[in-house]
Amino acid sequence: MIFRSDTVPEILGHEADGTPILAAHRSPDGVQLVITCPYCGLTHAHGAVGNAFGAGNGHRLSHCADGASGSGYVLQEVASCA
Ligand SMILES: [Zn+2]
Range of the domain at 73: 2-77
Q: What pTM does this model have?
A: 0.83
Q: Where are the beta strands (DSSP E) in the chain?
A: 11-14, 20-26, 32-36, 43-47, 58-60, 73-78
CA–CA dist 81, 77 (Å, integer): 12
Measure the CA–CA gap between 21 and 29, rounded to whole angstroms: 23
Confidence of residue 72 (pLDDT cuts 50, 70, 90): very high
Determine the distance from the C-alpha atom of residue 72 to the mean position of all C-alpha atoms in its chain, rounded to a whole number.
Answer: 10
Q: What is the pLDDT of residues 7-32, one digit of tens each?
A: 789 999 999 999 999 999 999 999 99
Residues by chain with Cβ below 5 Å of ion ligand 1: 37, 39-40, 62, 64
| pLDDT at residue 55 greater than cutoff 60 | yes
Q: What is the mean pLDDT of residues 46-75?
A: 89
Distance CA 49, CA 58 (A): 11
Do the beta carbons of residue 20 and residue 14 sit within 8 Å?
A: yes
Assigned domain for 14 exists: yes
Domains: count for the chain? 1
Local confidence band at 81 (pLDDT 50, 70, 90 cut-offs): low
Q: Is residue 82 part of a domain?
A: no
Instruction: Compute, in angstroms, the gap from residue 34 CA to the centroid of ligand 1.
Output: 11
